[in-house]
Amino acid sequence: MTQRPTTATKPTLTFPESAFIPEFIGTAKSAPSLISGDEQHFSAIASTLKQRLSELSTALDRARKGPRAHGQEALERDMEVHRLATRLRTLSRFGLDLCLGRMEAADGTEPIYVGRLGLTDDDGRRLLIDWRSPAAAPFFAATHAHPMGLLARRRYRWSAGLISDYWDEVFTADRLESNAALDDQSAFIASLGVNRSRKMRDVVSTIQADQDAIIRAPSRGALVVDGGPGTGKTVVALHRAAYLLYSDPRVGHHLGGVLFIGPHQPYLAYISDVLPGLGEEGVRVCTLSDLDPAGETAVPEADRGLAALKSSVEMVSAISTAVGFFQEPPAQSTIINTEWAELELDARDWAEAFSAPEDGTPHNEARDAVHEALLDILVDKLDAETPIDMARAALATHPELSTALSAAWPLLEPANIVAGMFTIPTFLAMCAPWLSEAQIRSLQRSDGLAWTDADLPLLDAARQRLGDSGASARRARRRTELAARRQEMAAVIEEAILADDSELLVSSMLRGEDMAEKLDQAADLPEESADPLAGPFTHIVVDEAQELSDAQWQMLLRRCPSGSFTIVGDRAQAREGFDESWEERLTRIGLTRISVSTLSINYRTPAEIMVQARAAITAELPDANVPQSIRTGGAPVERGSVADLSVRLEAWLVQHPTGHAAVIGHPNFAPRPRVASLTPVLAKGLEFDLVIVVNPQDFGTGITGAVDRYVAMTRATGTLLILEDH
């Protein structure tokens, strides 16, 4: 088969002779009758893509070099720069592999080409439609039973910017008889067995109809995607995040955007290229530990009993009780001495001021409202001849008032609140009176700041309840700086007016309201950036959600007031067990409008491996939802001695020069290129060509041990090797 060269202006298809071709294909896939239309269309895509990249580069350069702006104009310019830079990066990531495939409609119209992004030429011709658009839905959802107006569908497989293979699917009997390259299922299944890499494979062109239906489901309420290993839950979750940002007006970057929660850092590294490859760079991606700054140093909670105790909603609510102890108005009067009069704040005055903050205002931020209310009360006590503005300014920084307020309503730090509960038994008993004496003792520790992962939801609750302790000081500093700027500008204006000898006194216009507004904008100082993970978000996607505790769910609910969630998980992979239904679980933690979609086909794990994986989990969970594997004919599960690990691994690496392997359950095994060393917990969500499970009997007993064995075994896409000490 001849390989055609590719140029910038006239791209052509390249089909290697090693391309997978099923036995029933009678004509080579490179036959002109099959690919000439594609070649012509790709030429138009390449030309337009080159032009768009040039236009974007020019526009971005112009926006960056534009005149200096302030206020709203500066914000709009920054947003435009961000939009252009994002679009340029996205288009630069791809060439012709922007195109995923094409659809041929039954009405005889021109084929429609589906892309990662939409692309239109200067004449308004749609060269590519975005995969997320309604018009692209049949490309993923059409089946032989419901062709959705299609005659045929073609999907491309790309490698290094060239087409390495394609496969066609047809939806009418006459096309089945006349077309020479109808290898839909065989080519798709063959694609599932290709070698894995350190990054999740690009699978958007092979999204299946059941997965696509979930991806395009509405965003209202909580949608659960329930499925066992290899069913594509993570694929669905990632594509759904990109789809909602594109299609749902309620889920936009300017409205809060999407937060994606993964189980651990190796998982985040594994999926890091997927969303940018789908045209989305705006999704926030993190683990639960990343939601709180203490997560960087927190260690796993070694005591499962303590972890369970801390994970309850009741412990989270104890944080609010703890903060309330620092909002007690003084019962005694406070005397404030001023140059105008001796002023008294009695118990009723303090109580009135303490009621000033609106409900739900964080403690530290509410302190400003209390302070302002106290100033109002004190000013009202002055006689009519007192210069009110001067007196109020003096009272605002009065040391006696500041001292009294700090004692009655102090600024608090989240770490100190939580650490106090874990180091002062009487304080914990006051905050959580339902705890027994034994439980209180078990929660005490010598170093209150020695955080574990089970402490993070409590720290997060304290952070949300307290707010920013430095916000008040920053606002005061900002007001001072703005006042100084305006005073300086006012002096400049006056000098300009005095020096203006024109008949129209043009400089006097600087005193007008419009100019004053522009000067205020020019004087505006940039706000300090907030925590990008604090929310609120309009939608949250949670992968491996079966592992979340009640307290961890509260971390997410606080960040998504709308209750719009995509919840991805498998009850049979819950290490601590999952006795409830999804509906029961989510209703209990506070979600409503819950729907459940189930994925039951395992695309990843060969059937030979799943037979033994099924036995591993059903021994402990007889009703586990184990998916049906569609891949058969793979290598059987191999067994051996731990002593042979290095020899067998090296032999496999030589035989598979591009494959990737994982050793699971061997804490002393050092990772190396193409070989990861993982625990069963850190293996969740990942996949490898070869998986070597070491001493699975040591993973533990009960549900936790069974789940760890099940997870470890089902990471394999090709070969599973179980090694044990004999």
Task: Summarize pLDDT for 252-297 with one digit per residue, the tens.
Answer: 666 678 999 999 999 999 888 888 888 787 789 999 999 999 999 9
Mean pLDDT, all residues of the chain? 84
Q: How far apart are CA 712 and CA 229, in angstroms?
A: 10
The position carrying tokens 């699978």 is 203
Q: Find out whether 228 is annotated in a ligand binding site.
A: yes
CA-wise closest residue to 541 among 556, 551, 555, 523: 556
8-state DSSP, 229: T
Alpha helices in 325-397 (DSSP H): 347-354, 363-380, 388-396
Q: Are 569 and 543 in contact (CB under 8 A)?
A: yes
CA-wise closest residue to 2 among 36, 30, 24, 39: 30
Q: How far apart are CA 234 and CA 222, in angstroms?
A: 16
Report pTM: 0.81
Residues in CB range of 331: below 8 A, 6 or more apart: 347
Q: Are strands 112-115 and 99-105 parallel, antiparallel or unpaired?
A: antiparallel
Q: How far apart are CA 526 and CA 299, in angstroms?
A: 36
Task: Summarize pLDDT for 220-258 with one digit per residue, the tens.
Answer: 899 999 999 999 899 999 999 999 988 887 776 666 789
Q: Find out whether 227 is annotated in a ligand binding site.
A: yes
Q: Find out whether 702 is annotated in a ligand binding site.
A: no
Q: Which string of b and e fits 262-273 if b means at least 16 CB within 10 Å?
A: bbbebbbebbeb
Q: Find out whether 233 is annotated in a ligand binding site.
A: yes
At 202 the pLDDT is: 62
Q: Find out whether 234 is annotated in a ligand binding site.
A: yes
The position carrying tokens 């909603």 is 313
Q: Phi and psi at residue 106, in whole multiples of 5°?
A: -70, -20
Q: Which two tokens stand for residue 539?
A: 């939608």
Q: Which helix (H) or strand (E) holds 720?
A: strand 716-724
Q: How far apart are CA 597 and CA 595, in angstroms?
A: 7
3-state class of 670 per DSSP?
coil
Stretch among 251-255, 393-397, 691-695 having the lowest mean pLDDT: 251-255
pLDDT at 490 over 80: no
Mean pLDDT across 427-439: 96
The position carrying tokens 């394999």 is 716
Task: Summarize pLDDT for 497-535 with one digit per residue, the tens.
Answer: 666 565 555 555 555 444 445 445 444 444 444 688 988
Alpha helices in 590-659 (DSSP H): 607-618, 645-655
